Amino acid sequence: MKVLIVGGGGREHALAWKLSHSKKVTKLFIAPGNPGTAMHGENVIIAAEDIEGLKAFALREKIDLTIVGPELPLTLGITDAFAASGLLVFGPSKAGAELEGSKAFSKELMFRHDIPTAFYKKFEDAAQARAYVETHKPPMVVKADGLAAGKGVVICQSRQEALEAIDLIMTEKAFGSAGKKIIIEEFLAGEEASFLAITDGRTVLPLAPAQDHKAIFDNDKGPNTGGMGAYSPAPVLTPELQKEVMERVMYPAVAGMEKEGRPYKGILYAGLMLTAAGPKVLEFNCRFGDPETQPILMRLASDLLEPLLAAAEGRLDEVSLEWKKEAAVCVVMAAQGYPGEYLKGSEIKGLGEAALLPDTVVFHAGTKDSGGKVVTSGGRVLGVTALGAGIKSAIENAYRAVALISWEGAQYRTDIGKKALR
């Protein structure tokens, strides 16, 4: 089969790495890809948002299956455009992708279908949002409604912080059009976890649970990022809790989308807060998580192509998954200044040495080739991922590889996975 992966980050490198092991994949393309994906397939210089360009390429090359990595092309309707031309795609329709494209829509769906989540209010007027904050007790959470690359969420410990967050999102437009509308949520206490599943709109096939680290600094300090590391399995998500999440969150969400005329196919990602009252949904995403995909796919023993193809064809009930017993940990190495303005163009050293370590893969995210050298080109640069007999061993293996890699201003957290040890 000819397969096209849309995207050029760490998630797409992980998808390309895993799919390159499938005996059924005869040709693998990644658009636009990165220096890491080029080790597993052929990079195609077409932007992930260039839907017409991607469609023309897929038709010309007779692509059998397209797998969409990032959320933006999904919310722009890439699946609909491809399907109209007879192309098979793994990923939700534009109507389905609104689950991630609009936090207000997502919250409304959860309330309509009794999916546990935080109480919230929606605002399109900054003055009304400020008035609401003045009459409610902190802490509270202010979120941009639209896509903000994982950074449009501000946890506010005081009214002043909430007022500043409203100004940042709605007045200063820090996240552009994503901040035309905001929601203000009650703050949920507990531990966060990521629960991903593949669905064809009827069958829901869970992936191994994982846990992300959103904040830039150790001990969950500092501003939120797209994710500074992840591990799988997540011991906090016990088998009993996983069953509860399937019954109270995943099945109702897929059934609810079907009832509302938005049949949902693809990855359904629930960002959860495990509260004293049980799991509650912080957000839904409509694609593979990044960096959760890296450790999850390192642990997947099955051929990844089979469930993705089955979901796209509406026969996911025919597929089951097998998992390695080992744990996996991904440590994200980021550019100096991230998640704000960051440095680009620094040469990355030590990639060859790290690649020689057993059970370790360095997934490229924000990198590019410059005159035969690999240099930094994004905020999150690499996802250094390793297997181990348990979480402790996987942590040691991942950081052993991190220690071999360097560039000017490289930053990373030193505590990825420590929550699991507790």
Calculate the alpha carbon distances from 253 to 101, 232, 243, 321, 333 in Å: 15, 24, 15, 22, 34
pLDDT at 322: 98
Considering only CA atoms, which of 180, 207, 204, 181 is closest in space to residue 194?
Answer: 207
Closest CA to 64 of 25, 103, 95: 25
Pairing assessment for the beta strands 65-68 and 2-7 based on DSSP bridges? parallel
CB contact at 8 A, 106 and 82: no
pLDDT at residue 413, as a whole number: 98
Tens of pLDDT along the chain (422 residues) come to: 999 999 999 999 999 999 999 999 999 999 999 999 999 999 999 999 999 999 999 999 999 999 999 999 999 999 999 999 999 999 999 999 999 999 999 999 999 999 999 999 999 999 999 999 999 999 999 999 998 877 788 899 999 999 999 999 999 998 999 899 999 999 999 999 999 999 999 999 999 999 999 999 999 999 889 899 999 999 999 999 999 999 999 999 999 999 999 999 999 999 999 999 999 999 999 999 999 999 999 999 999 999 999 999 999 999 999 999 999 999 999 999 999 999 999 999 999 999 999 999 999 999 999 999 999 999 999 999 999 999 999 999 999 999 999 999 999 999 999 999 98
138: number of Cβ within 10 Å: 15
Strand partners, 197: 206, 268
In whole angstroms, give the CA distance from residue 164 to residue 158: 10
Q: How far apart are CA 382 and CA 35, in angstroms?
A: 11
Delineate the domains of the chain, giving CATH numbers in brackets.
2-93 (3.40.50.20), 119-186 (3.30.1490.20), 189-318 (3.30.470.20), 327-421 (3.90.600.10)
- Look at residue 115 and give its three-state secondary structure: coil
Give yes or no for a contact between 108 and 262, defined as CB atoms under 8 angstroms apart.
no
Question: For residue 356, what pLDDT is reported?
Answer: 97
Residue 152: predicted pLDDT: 87
Quote the tokens at residue 229: 């590391």
Residue 368: what residue type?
K
